[in-house]
Structure 1
Amino acid sequence: MNPLPRAVLFDLDGTLIDSAPDLVAAVQSLCVELGAPRPDADSVRRVVSAGGRAMLRKGLPGVDEAMIDQWLPRFLDIYSVAMLQHTRLYDGIHEVLEALTARSIAWGIVTNKPGWLARPLLAQMDFFAGSAVLVTGDTLPVRKPDPAPVLHACAQLGVAPAEAVMVGDDLRDVLSGRAAGTRTLVAGWGYLDGEPPQAWQADGIVDTPIELIAALGLEA
């Protein structure tokens, strides 16, 4: 049995919150604005955790990377004014966070979402008040899958990486946590980038948020 962690770090989109409806809507709005066909929502949803560029590649297939870079700021602007139309906390996450708090285990967020989007979004979601650390995509010069964001979060919390667990729904979360030296768990309820997570070599795959309580050793 794994020892009880001193800290748990979560990815944001696709792990703590289901933000896909608002992100997909922003991609579709941009496509309409550009005179392109509205993309299939499910195909865009599957790559939400891979970031804005991945979503635009799905929404605008065949477009070169220079154009993706050109349209990315407009996509983010569209999203920024409608981030909480349908975004919600996944069922069971509130109970997980309560269980961590009851055991005096710190938890925080390590996301590639830029701070100018992540902070106002989280400020409007009550659960964030309990977070002990937030590392966004622009906190450091590098982002996940580099281990630096996870190491930075551990340092801020005053815990050794071996005492922490990284939970996320994208390969980058697993790579970042593993390289940093944390235990890694895949959020199997998330977007998973349309890929089977069994090949990611995480320490475990958890099918539902509520099952994290047992996976983290938090059962009474």
Structure 2
Amino acid sequence: MSAASPRCAGVLFDLDGTLLDSAPDLAAALAVITREQGVAMPDYARVRAVVSAGGSAVLRTAWPQAAPGQVAALLPRYLDIYAGMLAEHTRMFPGIDALLARIERAGLPWGIVTNKIEALTLPLLQRMGLAARAGVVVCGDTLAQKKPDPAPVLHACAALGIAPDATLFVGDDRRDVEAGRAAGVSTIAVGWGYSSGENPADWQPDVLVQTPAQLAQALGFSA
């Protein structure tokens, strides 16, 4: 399916690692808490690789042997630090703003389905100039379920008034593909994101793209 097809009625995106390169700020917040706790800061590459897996996964790069309870105890402080630096270094990936503009010119609604909590997502979208552009934003705490459960994807489709089988879901994590597949939407995995250190091809998305330009082509837009 492509945007040129009459069956494509809208596009959903994951946030971190798909639309936004938020790893620099998430790593900066980790640097603060590791300094507070007297723990060595891991290499940036290790942190970046797991950003799409959430705050607990980021913390575990610095505390790999920690019990789940220890990581859970650190998470509120980590998220509080991160909330204070949400958009200092976070940017849209190159080519994403232009891609969203093309989607908007084509008259296609688009939205965001993220596991990031609302208290962090909405302020970040405001600062990135995306809040007013997205037709729907489904966060990790919007529903009782989050990705890889299909419920957030289906909720976004319903909010946009589009059928799942006429929807494209774009993401950089296995959970995006699994959630999209279970929801009955077409899935596009991107190669520029974080991917949790995995090969996106292994997730068996409907389409795999390496650049926003390739994504534009997959959506049916000419070069």
Alpha-carbon displacement from aligned partner over 1:149-182 (angstroms, at most 9, x marks no partner): 0000000011110000000000000000010000
| 1:136 counterpart (134, 139, 148) | 139
1:185 to 2:188 alignment: yes
1:115 corresponds to which residue?
Answer: 118
5+ long unaligned stretches in structure 1:
none
Does structure 1 retain, via aligned residues, the 8 Å contact 2:15–2:113? yes
Q: Is residue 28–residue 59 contact of structure 1 (8 Å, CA) maintained in 2?
A: no
Q: Given the alignment, which residue of 41, 47, 50 partners 1:47?
A: 50
CA contact (8 A) 2:186 2:206 kept: yes
What TM-score do you get using the length of structure 1 for normalisation?
0.97
Listed as ranges, the matches of 1:53-68 within 5 Å are 53-68=56-71
3-state secondary structure, aligned to 2:177: helix
Aligned residue number for residue 35 of structure 1: 38
Tell whether 2:100 aligns with 1:97.
yes
Distance 1:194 1:69 in 2: 22
Query: For structure 1, which segment, 107-116 or 122-131, has the greater mean C-alpha deviation from structure 2 after superposition?
Result: 122-131
Shift of 1:29: 1.2
Alignment TM-score, normalising by the size of structure 2: 0.96
| 1:162 and 2:140 correspond | no
Is the Cα contact below 8 Å between 2:168 and 2:187 reproduced in 1? yes
CA distance in 2, matches of 1:182, 1:141: 21
Does the 8 A contact of 2:157 with 2:163 survive in 1?
yes
Q: Distance in 2 between matches of 1:167 and 1:38?
A: 31
Q: Which residue of 2 aligns with 1:76?
A: 79
CA contact (8 A) 2:30 2:58 kept: yes
Question: Partner residue of 2:202?
Answer: 199
CA drift at 1:59: 1.7
**2:11 aligns with one of 8, 13, 30:** 8
Q: Alpha-carbon deviations, 1:3-56, whole Å to 9, x = none?
A: 352110000000000000000111121111111111111101100001111111
- Helix, strand or coil: the match of 2:221? coil
Structure 2 residues without counterparts, runs of 5 or longer: none
What is the rounded CA distance, in whole Å, between the counterparts of 1:126 and 1:84 in structure 2?
Answer: 11
Q: Is 1:148 aligned with 2:163? A: no
State the alpha-carbon separation in 2 of the partners of residues 74 and 54 from structure 1.
15
Identity %: 51
**Displacement, 1:126?**
1.6
